[in-house]
Amino acid sequence: MNNGYDIMEKALSSVPAYNLDDHTVVVFGAGNTSTLYQKCFEHEKIRPVYYVDNSKTKQGTMFHGAPVISVEELVSLQPAFCKPVLVLICSAQVSICRQIQAQLRECGLVHILVDAFVFSKNKESIKKVYDLLEDDFSKNTYAELIQARMNNSPVSESVVSNDQYFLPPQFFGRSENEVFVDIGAYVGDTVEEYLRKKSGVFGKIYAFEPDALNFAALGHRAERLRREWGIADERLTLVYGGVGAWTESMAFSSSPDSKNQAPASARLGARIVADAEDGAEKIMIHAIDDYFKEQRVSFIKADIESYELDMLRGAESVIKRDKPLLAVCLYHNASDMFTIQLFIKELSKDYKFKIRHYRYSFLETVLYAYTSEGGDYV
């Protein structure tokens, strides 16, 4: 085994084993990270009795079906619980996690980072993912990320890459027949980068974006790109909607900030919600298998705030039929770091995998999946 595996193994073995059935489970953090982690909580059967947050504006409210309370209130409630309290810390910021850890130690509350809990519980799946990776750089990157997220330590400079979504050689290929599907197109930055990387050589582009403000910006950029690259309208299709496991109409809420700020903030907090939530509007969620039933797909990129696995579930037939290149974000929640790759491998054993990371924080980890057919469509 190389050094990366040893680093990962040490981290996975260093965490105490906690049985959630033996504890009153509380999650610290009632913000965007905990919203992104709802899919993870569902997968891991994490059912918080309370959320704890230091924000006084959040205390006394409901968050994903549970009350939000202060640390002081949790301490006062502790004697009434039938089971000892276990606090799962849910934040993507190293400095914030350290502050919370110090706060909980001072209060005598047993706590663990949610990533440390999830990774330790699923250590065998994580080892399978590691073994499936094609190159040593991917293995070392994955191992370092597992360790950093478990230990709440900064990401090593040695694993940070460039050229997000287009780094492995398999994703360089140019073809006049390539159909690129950008899921979570945001304001069109990836579409523009795609055109530059491919020197304008492609068949069709489909860009899906569910946030109204982002979609408007995407439309403005698309107009410019059509002029600059001489692209006919039918070759660049913008879809106002999301992508998921099924084709259906669902309520969607943009970030509250997106109504008053520039598009750069609009993606934060945008999410599928209950129909009754204030400010929610109905949008279409498309299953890839339905939308592309008659259209071959060559390359799928997905950055959709913890809905990547749902997208893949709705793309099973297309993935089996076309074996498209896949560039899928893994970083939005802990369980995606191992479930997504294993799910793709179940769909087709032909897929090979690489992982690259693009930030000094825990953000922007991308799984690249490809087969021997990928990258050259003639």
Sheet holding 271-273, edge to edge: 242-243, 281-286, 248-253, 271-273
Overall pTM surpassing 0.85 (yes/no): yes
> What is the distance between the alpha carbons of residues 12 and 7, in angstroms, rounded to a whole number?
9
Q: Regarding the domain delimited by 11-123, which CATH topology (the fold level of the hierarchy) does it fall under? A: Rossmann fold (3.40.50)
Tens of pLDDT along the chain (378 residues) come to 457 889 899 999 988 889 999 999 999 999 999 999 999 999 999 999 999 999 999 999 999 999 999 999 999 999 999 999 999 999 989 999 999 999 999 999 999 999 999 999 999 999 999 999 999 999 999 999 999 999 998 888 889 998 889 888 889 889 999 999 999 999 999 999 999 999 999 999 999 999 999 999 999 999 999 999 999 999 999 999 999 999 999 888 775 544 444 444 445 556 666 555 656 788 999 999 999 999 999 999 999 999 999 999 999 999 999 999 999 999 999 999 999 999 999 999 999 999 999 988 888 999 999 998 654 443
Whether 201 and 175 have beta carbons less than 8 Å apart is answered as yes
3-state secondary structure of 289: helix
CATH 3.10.290.10 fits 160-370, yes or no: no
Query: In this structure, are residues 251 and 218 in contact, taking their beta carbons and an 8 Å threshold?
Result: no
Cβ-Cβ contacts under 8 Å for 336 (sequence gap 6 or more): 39, 40, 306, 308, 309, 329, 330
Residues of the chain with CATH 3.40.50.150: 160-370
Q: How far is Cα 50 from Cα 47, in angstroms, rounded to an integer?
A: 9
CB 315 within 8 A of CB 288: yes
- Segment (H or E) for 309: helix 308-313
Tell me the two tokens of residue 173: 């290929």
Neighbours of 192 (CB within 10 A): 16
Distance CA(38)–CA(137), nearest Å, equals 30
Name, in order, each residue with C-beta under 8 angstroms of 17's C-beta and a sequence gap of 6 or more: 120, 121
Residue ranges, comma separated, of all CATH 3.40.50.20 domains in the chain are 11-123
Cβ(127)–Cβ(137) below 8 Å: no
The total of other beta-carbon atoms located within 10 Å of residue 140's CB is 22
